[in-house]
Amino acid sequence: MSHIVLEDILYLVLLIGLSIPLGIYMYKVMTGQKVFLTRVLSPIEKGIYKIMGVRDDEEMGAKKYALAIIVFSTICLIFLWGLQMLQAFLPLNPEGIEGTSWHLAFNTSASFVSNTNWQAYSGESALSYLSQALGLTVQNFVSAAAGIAVLFVLIRGFILKKKTTVGNFWVDLTRTTLYILIPLSLIVAILITSQGVVQTFSPYKDVVTLEGGAVQTIPLGPAASQIAIKQLGTNGGGFFGVNSAFPLENPTQLSNLIQLLSILLIPAALCISFGKAVKDSKQGRSIYIAMIILFVVSLAAVTVSEQFAAPGFAGVTASASIEGKEVIHGMGTSALWATATTAASNGSVNSMHDSFTPFGGMVLMFLMQLGEIVFGGVGSGLYGMLAFVLLTVFIAGLMVGRTPEYLGKKVEPFDMKMVCLIVLTPPLLTLLGTAAAVIMPDAASWLTNSGAHGFSEILYGFSSMGNNNGSAFAGFNANTIFTNVTGGIIMLLVRFIPMVAAIFLAGNLAQKKTVAAGEGTLSTTNTMFIGLLIAVIFIIGALSFLPALTLGPVADYFTNQ
């Protein structure tokens, strides 16, 4: 157990150490300052604006900014939808894979456009190289960039005074992709390729096995380029069906560490960027600390559950639960990955979450159900957490009988309406989707297990889709018309309703004047506020999901003792 603790500590130290310089760099990029890549990338950036017919000094109001995101995402959705259904007639398809069904294509398109990357298919058998590279990989970049862009819109809302504009979507999208996501992805892709992750357009290869002389087909493809951005952009969609548990997607302990760091690196660094942008590093630090505390508590709970709560068998000494976990990673690293991927809206897996103990699986489920705000998605995690910060400030203001303020801006009724949309949309659609699924006549046939664990498989699936995560309990067969269509709609709504609400919240904040802090102003950087913020997050999560969790993993635990 001690070596597991040391691994976790090393991971957190590396994460924090790398996030600080990256956060400062991203702040400079998004505020238009010169960085070390400016000389190389500035001509390319200007060329992109010229092709698009965009002026980099032209500002947008909240409505125009939100409309730009919706139109851009709709075009991406239609393009990716058609690409999958027509892939049999397109190039870069050496295996001659047929086009997917319309409902699977819709679900996958909605999934990748919404930065969810839920997969109801196995990549190596369902999608061509063209669909993976031109379709999914591109969406991994632009959906992540859109999340970061909206975060900086909200940040501008806090720092601008009496302004009616919040930035330019096309500029934010271009800078995020060009200066942040592409360079980082290039570094990660090179590193993981050196560890054996495949990157080729060669056809699949047949080999003769050492045992029995049978012929086995080894799937190949341009995987490393997609895997790099899937982790960095908190996308999580695997190039191969079993995701990062597959040897050609995650072959070594070093590749595992690189991908693990990539999952939380940008969301963690954005806390630093936030503090720099609002000219108060303590604000970013307090949110960072709250996220770290929630993450560490969750990690400890999952690790202890997997170490000590494994099912017991007559005549066998109890030991750590290793079912569904790769030997090369073991229980400890599997628990760390599972916690990181569900804390972020990542969804990649290096073990099968369906095989986790009931309480271990419950923690992973609950992390998603909190709204993916414990680091969360790139950009979306932090603007979701800021919504909880405003909610906490509002509750504290009610307690003392004064108008709540945050970063010098009064929090008023319109702001709270937008906050409620951000905070409550994911749990509402998660529970509605779960309820709709369990009453379907064919629901039992979609499951590997019955009873409480079967319900947990459905609840986990819709918690994942309803919080833009993308991971799954492996026992849930999601490739049905009902799940593909319902899940696709849920993923789009959960992504874009909070996103548009965050933009309008920013627009309203930007129009306000700054109020000077007084003696009665609530401190949002001290220990008391951090504790109150964590308490509000847990209370909202518990009130929303305790009954469902009781019917699922809690009942599963007590019925399998």
pLDDT tens, position by position, 334-372: 999 999 999 998 989 999 888 888 899 999 999 999 988
User: How many domains does one find in the chain?
Assistant: 1
Secondary structure element (H or E) that encloses residue 206, with its range: strand 205-208
CA distances from 92 to 46, 117, 131, 140, 316 (A): 31, 22, 9, 19, 51
Share of residues in the chain with pLDDT > 90 (%): 76
| Amino acid (one-letter) located at 143 | S
Phi (first) and psi of residue 492, to 5 degrees: -70, -45
**313 beta partners:** 316
What pLDDT score was predicted for residue 419? Answer: 96
Please return the burial class of 17, using the count of CB atoms within 10 Å of its CB with bins 0-12, 13-18 and 19+.
Answer: exposed
Lowest mean pLDDT among 196-200, 311-315, 504-508: 311-315
Give the residue numbers spanning the domain of 143: 20-269
281-308 vs 2-30: helix crossing angle, rounded to 10? 150
Instruction: Tell me whether residue 155 is in a domain.
Output: yes
For residues 344 and 268, the answer to whether their CB atoms sit within 8 Å is no
What pLDDT score was predicted for residue 1? Answer: 67
What pLDDT score was predicted for residue 310? Answer: 60
What pLDDT score was predicted for residue 211? Answer: 76
Instruction: Tell me whether residue 142 is in a domain.
Output: yes
What pLDDT score was predicted for residue 210? Answer: 80
What pLDDT score was predicted for residue 316? Answer: 43
Instruction: Tell me whether residue 88 is in a domain.
Output: yes
- 3-state percent helix, strand, coil for the chain, nearest multiple of 5: 65, 5, 30
What pLDDT score was predicted for residue 312? Answer: 52
Distance CA 462, CA 143 (A): 20
Instruction: Tell me whether residue 362 is in a domain.
Output: no
Instruction: Tell me whether residue 255 is in a domain.
Output: yes
pLDDT score of 166 more than 80: yes
Residue carrying structure tokens 């889709």: 465
pLDDT score of 214 more than 90: no
pLDDT score of 560 more than 80: no
| Amino acid (one-letter) located at 334 | S
Distance CA 56, CA 44 (A): 13
Distance CA 473, CA 460 (A): 7
223-232 vs 182-194: helix crossing angle, rounded to 10? 130
E-assigned strand segments in 80-191 = none
CA distances from 510 to 69, 112, 156, 209 (A): 19, 31, 7, 64
Phi (first) and psi of residue 218, to 5 degrees: -100, 115
The pTM is what? 0.94
CA distances from 398 to 237, 412, 508 (A): 43, 12, 21
Phi (first) and psi of residue 205, to 5 degrees: -115, 130
pLDDT score of 75 more than 90: yes
pLDDT tens, position by position, 302-321: 999 888 866 554 444 455 67
What pLDDT score was predicted for residue 315? Answer: 44
pLDDT tens, position by position, 34-69: 999 999 999 999 999 999 999 988 999 999 999 999
- Exposure class string for 278-296: b at 16+ Cβ within 10 A, else e: bebbebbbbbbbbbbebbe
Rg (CA), the chain: 23
pLDDT tens, position by position, 77-127: 999 999 999 999 999 999 999 999 999 999 999 999 999 989 988 888 999
Instruction: Tell me whether residue 420 is in a domain.
Output: no
Q: Is the dihedral of CA 323, 328, 333, 337 positive or negative?
A: negative
